[in-house]
Structure 1
Amino acid sequence: MTTAASLSPAESTSSSAVDQLRAGLEDFGRRDQQIARYVIDHAEEIPFLSAGEIAESLAVSGAAITRFAQRVGFEGYPHLQRVIRQDLRATLGMKQPGSEDSVVARFWASEHANLEALQDIPEARLLAFARAIAAAKQVWVVGARSSYGISLLAETILASFRPHVRAYSADLLLSRPEQLLEVTPQDVVVAFTLRRYSRATTRMVRALHKQGVQVLLITDQGASPLSKVAHQCLQLPTHGTDVLASLAPFVSVITLLASLVAHELEGGHLKQAEALNADFGVYEY
């Protein structure tokens, strides 16, 4: 069998690992082509996948993944994985601000385009999301870093209409895994992911999935590592300005889902909650 061509040090500094694999694909043997195509197609998931998980997906041995990485010029799979992670950080990380000219105009143009694109999400998919949230025994809302802020907003809005909604920081959940003992198969987890994808969110949501929880994923237009375990997925446009991705689509979809949940529950416990707010004088007016 023809083996994969080794990558020279000069090549490894001139382009990304995925670009190098793509360029050398035709020179690889049949099995190495299979592995290379998997790495190319799942590049954004590779930092989260072990060699064993890739081997299981391709029905090959873990040693085959290691040998492939070595044949294409890396010390082993962890080295290949590390280089791909660095490549992704370079391309998906926060950009430096550009010139100030037309920053405001570009911002509103991108926000407008994102919100228009949201209208392409099928109504049936949104209804299915809302019905799963409405029917769940408990709703685990999980995110990390900026996505955790989105999770807190989702908790606040959804808790107005149904009980047992709780936002969790994926990082804190990892430090207290005993909370998984509270999980039931009747629960759902609403997971928020936004590039760069948090390893903590990936690990925790996969753990919840193994407990039998239904996974509802709300993510950006990238290749979230959780897309394979998600029972339902909403991919939102997040094109932003030079520096930051847009969060407006997440806020809009959360608000819409809460409205649909309220409709499913015929208002839920909103009236009782408002009565308690009045009794305790929560609001000035």
Structure 2
Amino acid sequence: MSDGPAARLQQLFEGRRLTPTQRRIAHSMVRRAADVPFLSSVELAELAGVSQPSVTRFAVALGFDGYPALRRHLREVVPAAAPEEGEDEYNEYQQAVQAEIENLRHLAGLLADPAPVEEAGRLLAASRPLPVLGLRAASSQARGFAYFAAKVHPDVRLLDEGGSMLVDRIDAARRAGASALLCFALPRHPREVVDALAYARSVGLRVVTVADSAFAPVARHSDLLIPAAVGTGLAFDTACAPMLLGRVLLEAMCDDLPDAQARLEEFDAGAAGRGLFVE
């Protein structure tokens, strides 16, 4: 990703858990990256369509004493490098894509050491059954993993609904022989997920977690946490890196399932016989 004003602002917000109002301010700042260091708090509030106190609270949430301190910081870092050719032509949607590309680069760097993923693959392959947990924003990640994992793993149990039965389902998996649980945990983090992981560990399950940060609230209840950042440039988070990390974990799990290839071939043969897919 280029290192122009918009990119430098994205780095300032990266990893911050912002409220919807604060995200709106950040979004407006990225759109007007070259002008923001020279705007007053009132002007920025008008640009974002929020109140002036919201701008002050936003600056404090970023770790500054107030908006003047944030503006001084922006004047130091935002204009420090000239934009690369074409960057000023990026619209807000392209900037979101560029931010996700950077998240994928970070994930690629993390995977230079394959040991954590390989360990996770062994834990997941050995667990029979294998519960896969993901609630709210993370439910689609859990569901996607469980869909593909079921093609190679003999017993995958998707836990994508909360409520009083969640602990019951974790208990049932443990009684059936589960030794590990895979969790996808993305912001905003439901308290229910944190409580479920604490309970899972209390009954002897090893917890493997894909989270947006190594400092996510679920970290203290995870035996093995592998981070994959989410994009925060749009109104709602984007999760390309967590999705890709889920597929990487699938690959590692397949490597530790000796009959994985045979199961895939059996599925393909059955699908062809049923005319399941249109080629």
| Residue in structure 2 matched with residue 72 of structure 1 by the alignment | none
CA contact (8 A) 1:129 1:232 kept: yes
- Mapping of residues 9-20 of structure 1, within 5 Å: none
Code of the residue aligned with 1:157 in structure 2: it is F
Please give the residue correspondences for 1:130-145 in structure 2 after superposition, counting only pairs within 5 Å. 130-145=121-136
In the aligned structure 2, how far is the partner of 1:119 from the partner of 1:209?
29
Equivalent residue, structure 2, for 1:29: none
Which residue of 1 is the match for residue 202 of structure 2? 210
Q: Name the SS of the counterpart of 2:268 in structure 1.
A: helix
The match for 1:279 among 270, 273, 276 is 273
The reply on whether 1:163 has 2:154 as its aligned counterpart is: yes
Give the 4+ runs in structure 1 shifted more than 4 A.
none
Q: Superposition pairs for residues 112-123 of structure 1, below 5 Å?
A: 112-121=101-110, 122-123=113-114
In angstroms, what is the RMSD of aligned CA positions? 2.4
Identical counterparts, % of pairs: 15
Give the alignment partner of residue 243 of structure 1, picking from 235, 238, 261.
Answer: 235
Query: 2:124 & 2:136 partners in 1: Cα distance?
Result: 23
CA shift at 1:115, angstroms?
A: 0.6
Deviation at 1:279, TM superposition (A): 3.3
CA shift in 2, pair 1:225/1:240, >3 Å: closer
Q: CA deviation at 1:170?
A: 4.4
Write the letter of the residue equivalent to 1:109: Q
Displacement of 1:92 after TM fit? Answer: 4.4
Question: SS state of the match for residue 252, structure 1?
Answer: helix
SS of equivalent to 1:221: coil
Is 1:225 the counterpart of 2:214? The answer is no
Residues 93 and 194 (structure 1), Cα distance of their counterparts in 2 relative to 1, 3 Å cut: farther
Q: TM-score, normalised by structure 1?
A: 0.62
* Counterpart-to-counterpart distance in 2, 1:130 and 1:222: 19
Map 1:1-285 to 2 at 5 A: 91-93=18-20, 95-96=23-24, 98=28, 99=31, 102-121=91-110, 122-172=113-163, 174-175=164-165, 177-184=167-174, 186-221=178-213, 223-266=215-258, 268=260, 269-285=263-279
The TM-score normalised by the length of structure 2 is 0.63
State how far apart, in whole Å, the 2-side matches of 1:263 and 1:222 are: 25
In the TM superposition, what is the alpha-carbon distance from 1:208 to its structure 2 partner? 1.6
Unaligned residue ranges in structure 1 (runs of 5+): 1-87
Q: Deviations over 1:20-64 (max 9, x none)?
A: xxxxxxxxxxxxxxxxxxxxxxxxxxxxxxxxxxxxxxxxxxxxx
Alpha-carbon offset, residue 213 of structure 1: 0.9
- Secondary structure at the aligned position of 1:218 is classed as strand
- 1:140 deviation in Å? 0.9
Q: Secondary structure at the match of 2:220?
A: coil
Find the residue that maps to 1:228 and give its secondary structure: helix
Q: Is the 8 A contact 2:121 2:250 kept in 1?
A: yes
Distance of aligned partners of 1:257 and 1:180 in 2 relative to their CA distance in 1, 3 Å threshold: closer
SS of equivalent residue, structure 1 residue 196 = coil
Residue 175 to residue 134, structure 1, CA distance change in 2 (3 Å): closer
Post-superposition shift, 1:133? 1.0
